[in-house]
Amino acid sequence: MRVLMLSKACIVGIYQRKLEEIARLGVDLTVVVPPTWRDERGELALERSYTDGYRLAVTPIRLNGHYHLHHYPGLDRWFDPPPDIVHIDEEPYNLATWLALRQARRAGARSLFFSWQNIRRGYPPPFAIGEWWTLRHVDYALMGTESAAAVWREKGYAGPLAVIPQFGVDIDLFRPPTRPVTGRTRALGFVGRLVPEKGVDVLLQALSLIQEERFCQGNWRLDIVGSGPEQPALEALVDELNLRERVTFMGQIPSMQMPVFYRQLDILIVPSLTRPNWKEQFGRVLVEAMACGVTPIGSDCGAIPEVIGDAGLVVPEGDATALGYALCRLIQDDELRLDLARRGRERVQSYYTQAQIAARTVAVYEEMMRLPR
């Protein structure tokens, strides 16, 4: 079968491993990506990391960085010859989705969209109209979590759907290191956008507490990977809390170098905070870290507890004291930390590998090909 996928997310090199796995299962796959994508972290250029067995079609993008309005003016060239399936790796309320779906319908191709949206949100025209049209004309939907599936059912989507994360993890690349487990400084990490909803300020407050409290014995340091508009305020907070000798802002790290970073960590913290228009949709860094044998601590925001399962600690979001106690517990208790790390690796192997995600996605394609027209 011929599949045309539209995905700005696939400019990230490590995500492309899923595409190779899909192609390996016999799919004639073309993936349309922009040359770059802009967000609050800056401009991310296309990485070419896993490109065997399928076509990576770099296509100019209009309104780059505008989440709802970006689109691909040259998309029509990839409809000759027409694909069997158009996989629109975008939310149903985006212009890129509407235009791709319109072209799919003109070409007689089946279509699907993907969504992480786990909060029921209303949009003004024309987005509400476009969303309504997409939900009634698309053939299939992929949802990142059960909560996202519930949202779209409530909003009126009545067609077939499957709950499959957008990407998995290559467990050969993301693997635990061989390293000593006692007698050294515990390495803590945060990976993500430096924006208020990611809760880095709560993490810093928690570290300030355990630095001052004598009950928490043991040395530790924190590396912060990522960038965003909150970085100046967070650096000022580090100075205010006297954490400068323990906290390092590392900026962005290329995706293919992330496994090396994770293997240097003992604990990954994801202290996300729910906002009226956002809550954590998956927490992909949790899966990557767990694959590398890193023990996670997460807040109870959105999908975080679902992803961690029994492989880490979960604390109430926004509670710096609870987060401090959880950190202290793992810093001091090697046996607990290593047991959770083992469970995390097993959990990823059971649910979140790139090969598993690709196989489940191809199974959806095969189901779509059997749908009546």
* pLDDT tens readout for residues 282-297: 888 999 999 999 999 9
> Which candidate, 299, 312, 323, places its Cα nearest to that of 205?
323
What does residue 82 show for φ and ψ, rounded to 5 degrees?
-65, 140
pLDDT (average), residues 224-241: 96
Q: Tell me: do 19 and 113 sit in the same domain.
A: yes
Asked, for residue 174, whether it belongs to a domain, the answer is no
Asked, for residue 180, whether it belongs to a domain, the answer is no
Looking at residue 331, what is its pLDDT? 93
pLDDT in tens, 264-288: 999 999 999 999 888 898 888 999 9
Q: Tell me: do 95 and 9 sit in the same domain.
A: yes
CATH number at residue 19: 3.40.50.2000
d(CA 173, CA 259): 7
Q: Tell me: do 358 and 333 sit in the same domain.
A: no
d(CA 77, CA 82): 10
Starting from the edge strand earliest in sequence, which strands make up the sheet with 110-115, in order? 55-58, 28-33, 2-6, 85-88, 110-115, 140-143, 161-163
pLDDT (average), residues 339-367: 95
Q: Tell me: do 28 and 126 sit in the same domain.
A: yes
Helix (H) or strand (E) holding 223: strand 220-225
Q: Tell me: do 288 and 359 sit in the same domain.
A: no
Does residue 302 come out as left (phi exceeding 0), alpha (psi in the -120 to 50 range) or beta? left
Asked, for residue 35, whether it belongs to a domain, the answer is yes
Q: Tell me: do 13 and 40 sit in the same domain.
A: yes
Q: Tell me: do 10 and 51 sit in the same domain.
A: yes
Q: Tell me: do 120 and 220 sit in the same domain.
A: no
Q: Tell me: do 6 and 121 sit in the same domain.
A: yes
**What are 190's strand-pairing partners?**
224
Q: Name the domain count of the chain.
A: 2
> Which candidate, 95, 97, 136, places its Cα nearest to that of 115?
97
Looking at residue 182, what is its pLDDT? 52
- Report the chain's mean pLDDT, rounded to a whole number: 93
Q: Answer yes or no: are the C-beta atoms of 128 and 122 closer than 8 Å.
A: yes
Range(s) of the domain holding residue 270: 186-351
Q: Tell me: do 249 and 287 sit in the same domain.
A: yes
Asked, for residue 164, whether it belongs to a domain, the answer is yes
Asked, for residue 176, whether it belongs to a domain, the answer is no
Q: Tell me: do 100 and 32 sit in the same domain.
A: yes
